[in-house]
Amino acid sequence: MVTPPSVPDPTVPDDIVELEVGAIAAGGGCVARGPDGRVIFVRHSLPGERVRARITSETTSFLRADAIEILEPSADRVAPLCPHAGPGRCGGCDFQHVALPAQRKLKEDLIAEQLTRVGGVDLRVVVEDVGGAPEGLAWRTRVSFAVDREGLVGFRRHRSHDIEPVTTCPIATDGVNAADVSSVNWTGARQLEVLASPDGGPPVVLVETGKQRLDGLPDIEVGLVWKGRTLRAPDHVTFDVLGNRFDVRAGVFWQVHPRAAAVLTTAVLDGLAPKSGERVADLYAGAGLFTVALARAVGPTGVVTAVERSGPAIADLKRNTSSLAHVEVLRADVSPGVVARRLGRPDLVVLDPARAGAGRDVLTALCALDPAPRRIAYVSCEPAPFARDLKQLLAAGWTLESLRAFDLFPMTEHVELVGILARPQR
């Protein structure tokens, strides 16, 4: 009689398993196979390592785990520079345990995998170091803090509502840490967003309370904004980008790395090569970072139409472009109707959407413009949606002229992409 092979018991949360770790995956972990054959995404690990890992959660198709003991470490492993990094601690940084050059290599692997799997494009790009973040630290000019029911401040632990108490964040700039928000009680608040200019000046704190009221004003030297109202000045910070001044109100999107705005603006201008008198559409324009640079490039005989839906961002956009009479500001969602009927016939288009990407309907409307724009610059912080949208543009006959990647988020898996596409030849 033949004895059937034994089937391992299913791996479940809180189990501790020994794993051989494979390639990096989106989400900051690496891929492994559990004893029962299921895929496990292992945080705090590196490709090629052998680890002991605690299963933290499961879905119908995969498990998540934290590496709690490194049995065979990678040569790229380093001691985390942040005391809050590690299993069960702050969920903000994915790569504190990874040497900086290896972090960029992992991001290159992620981009290549997403371009191939999602976009059908066989391409590998170099993730460029932009400087301004010594040892990968002190670069975040905007940081969101969680607040517990007792008014204490910290960061959410990974995939948890629990808070890791934090007094200083190593990846935040000195200006953000100088706000010292953890030194006072914030009873009634649910979240704080601290914004600080790398050029100095007092930081600004945006307070979110939900339906609750803020229990008094904390005694720290910061600007305070609550429910769109300025409780204490200032309510905005100032950034200088390539000689242009930008005022950005708390809560309005702005690139967090101190060198990001200049690096991305230069990449967009170099890729698009705008000419005097051209018409440009800046979609998802925010506070006007690209709008201002493009308006100066096309000059007063050109036109830049800036589309943005957020009221506070529109206010900043209008203020930042007030001296540029050839900028048209349009408050609207970036929709197929807006693309088809409100942009005129743009020679150039900038797409800088949120993480979810521009999406099929907007791109379909963009591809239907006649004549087609000369070039599109697509700026993205998420490789997967970028790859999906790129696939659609390539299928419509557009050509990817260049793709650059910038390490604007050290210690995390995130990366910024700038793709330049040329119109179909008809």
Dist. CA 241–CA 197, nearest whole Å? 12
Contact (CB, 8 A) for 139 and 410? yes
82 is catalytic: no
**Whose CA is closest to 315, among 256, 247, 262, 261?**
247
Dist. CA 244–CA 235, nearest whole Å? 20
Dist. CA 260–CA 408, nearest whole Å? 6
**Whose CA is closest to 195, among 137, 254, 242, 152?**
254
Cα torsion 110, 116, 122, 126 to 10°: value is -10
Dist. CA 180–CA 62, nearest whole Å? 40
Contact (CB, 8 A) for 289 and 252? no
What are the tokens at 296? 């100066």
Contact (CB, 8 A) for 183 and 146? no
Question: What's phi and psi for 265, nearest 5 deg?
Answer: -60, -45
- Length of the chain (residues): 426
What are the tokens at 397? 């006959």
Helix (H) or strand (E) holding 109: helix 100-117
Dist. CA 376–CA 326, nearest whole Å? 20
Neighbours of 424 (CB within 10 A): 13
For residue 62, give every residue at least 6 positions away whose Cβ sits within 8 Å of its Cβ, in sequence order, or none.
38, 39, 40, 41
Sheet holding 303-308, edge to edge: 127-128, 399-406, 416-422, 375-380, 348-351, 279-283, 303-308, 327-331
HSE, side-chain direction, 13 A CA sphere, residue 228: 5
Dist. CA 239–CA 257, nearest whole Å? 12
Identify the DSSP state of 181.
G
Question: What's phi and psi for 215, nearest 5 deg?
Answer: -85, 75
Dist. CA 187–CA 348, nearest whole Å? 49
Among 30, 90, 169, 381, which one carries the catalytic annotation?
381
Question: What's phi and psi for 29, nearest 5 deg?
Answer: -105, 180
Which sequence positions are flagged as catalytic?
A: 381
